[in-house]
Amino acid sequence: MARSLALALYLISAGRGGTGPTPERAPRPDGPLLWLHLGHGETPHRLSHLATRLMRDRPDLTLLMSCEGKDPTGLGAFPSSVIADLLPPDNPAMVRRFLDHWRPDTAVLTGPSLPPAMIVGVHDRGIPLLLADIRMTATGERGWRWRKGMAASLLGRFRRILAQDPETATRLRRLGGRGIAVDVAGRIEETAEPLPCNERERASLAELVQTRPIWLAAGCNVAEEDAIIAAHSHAMRLAHRMLLILSPADAERAPALAERLRREGWIVAKRTREEEPEPEVQVLVTDGDVELGLWYRLAPVTFMGGTLLEGGPGRNPFEPAAFGSAILHGSHAGAYPDAYARLTEARATRLVTSPSALAEAVSELIAADKAAILAHNAWAASSGGAEVAERVTQAILAELDAVPAKAAV
């Protein structure tokens, strides 16, 4: 690891500032604790998938999350057991207080930020330190031009560096020297764990519906119901055997929705009454999001509710993408703008901007070959993101497993 006069001077200067009061913190839990820091430009939605995989593989793990320069936000995307704390200012004394309290077994920084006092403080305690999901542009490299010794000293303190792309790996080696441990892992993308379902139930329903064309409206709002019903009516002119699986955002809405459809002359089955989608059934009303994993598997086409009109809660579009369902969505991405942007770039979705456009899209995607193109692209985008998250997960767990767990004091 290179020594750096610039780094030493930085730490002296940073230590001259006032430390301020120590914030109140929850007690450190027993067992292994992993600190995941979201650097500049990182979003909780993208990193939540990594957190979910880490805790799936290590159920005894406590995950501590911090964000760059602000309170941690977006924790709703993370497992409920994740602990959030403010990142301390880059002051050696405040970093010490933070580390004294949490005593992480392993620390993972994500993104391009390299806070010197934090990196030095973690390294000096012998805590394994990883840098993940980093992308360094040519501009970023030039920013270190007059501080290459400092950059080399900081980068040399990481056990492993997982770069997004080969260009980043090359730039990091130019800054840190060829001795630094840099691998190209890819970019951690926002995706979703495949939702579970009862396989026996899936097989039974698949046998019942057989070759019927099916589409799913997932998480639809009351304000979208007219557009969805009109789209189904339009599509049935071309495919009279078509089945709509209608999943309201609010499960309590299901009885009233089924009653409305019956009054309007539709043949309806209600999942809450264990009614089956028999050949004559035109609409199956589900009990909200309870069995979405089942419906995503059955439906070759999914309309993402909450996107046609502004203000809907919406769901992660990578949920149906994981099962290769062609995705239709409106122009309101809600909490998932990055996910929709990525799927759009992969040509895995179709944008519908009005109720009439939804009707036309559903009718067009009755053709299996057209739906299959979107579905394949959606699955490829989802599986690619999952592979990167898995590589990073295994790298983190390898370091974590090499460290004895600490007990709470």
Its CATH architecture, for the domain 199-382, is: 3-Layer(aba) Sandwich (3.40)
Q: What pLDDT score does 407 carry?
A: 45
Rounded to the nearest angstrom, the gap between the alpha carbon of residue 30 and the centroid of all alpha carbons in its chain is: 27
Tens digit of pLDDT at every position of the chain (409 positions): 667 888 888 888 888 766 667 778 889 999 999 999 988 777 777 778 788 889 889 999 999 998 765 555 555 567 778 888 888 888 899 999 999 999 999 999 998 888 999 999 999 999 999 999 999 999 999 988 888 899 999 999 999 999 999 999 999 999 988 789 899 988 887 777 778 888 999 999 999 998 899 999 999 999 999 999 999 999 999 889 999 999 999 999 999 999 999 999 999 999 988 899 999 999 999 987 889 999 999 999 999 999 998 767 688 898 998 888 899 999 998 888 888 988 998 898 999 999 999 999 999 988 777 788 888 888 888 877 778 888 899 999 998 888 765 544 4
What pLDDT sits at residue 71?
56
d(CA 119, CA 271): 54
Name residues whose C-beta falls within 8 Å of residue 29's C-beta, 6 or more positions apart in sequence. Answer: 62, 83, 408
Which string of DSSP letters, residue by residue, matches 389-409?
A: HHHHHHHHHHHHHTSPPPPP-
Alpha-carbon gap, residue 354 to 48, rounded angstroms: 32
| CATH class as words, domain 5-19+30-188 | alpha beta
C-alpha separations of 102 from 32, 105, 122, 395 in Å:
10, 9, 11, 22
Say yes or no: do domains 5-19+30-188 and 199-382 share a fold: yes
Report the pLDDT value the prediction gives residue 10, as an integer from 0 to 100: 85
Q: Please give the pLDDT value at position 125.
A: 94
pLDDT digit string, tens, across residues 322-362: 888 899 999 998 888 888 988 998 898 999 999 999 999 99
pLDDT tens column, 299-311: 999 999 999 987 6
**Amino acid 408: pLDDT:** 44
The amino acid occupying position 395 is A
Q: Per the confidence metrics, is the pTM higher than 0.85?
A: no
The pLDDT score that the predictor gives to residue 146 is 86
Of the candidates 299, 373, 362, the residue with the CA atom closest to the CA atom of residue 329: 362
Give per-residue burial for 109-133: e unless 16+ CB within 10 Å, then b.
bbbbbbbbbbbbbbbeeebbbbbbb
Report domain extents, the chain.
5-19+30-188, 199-382
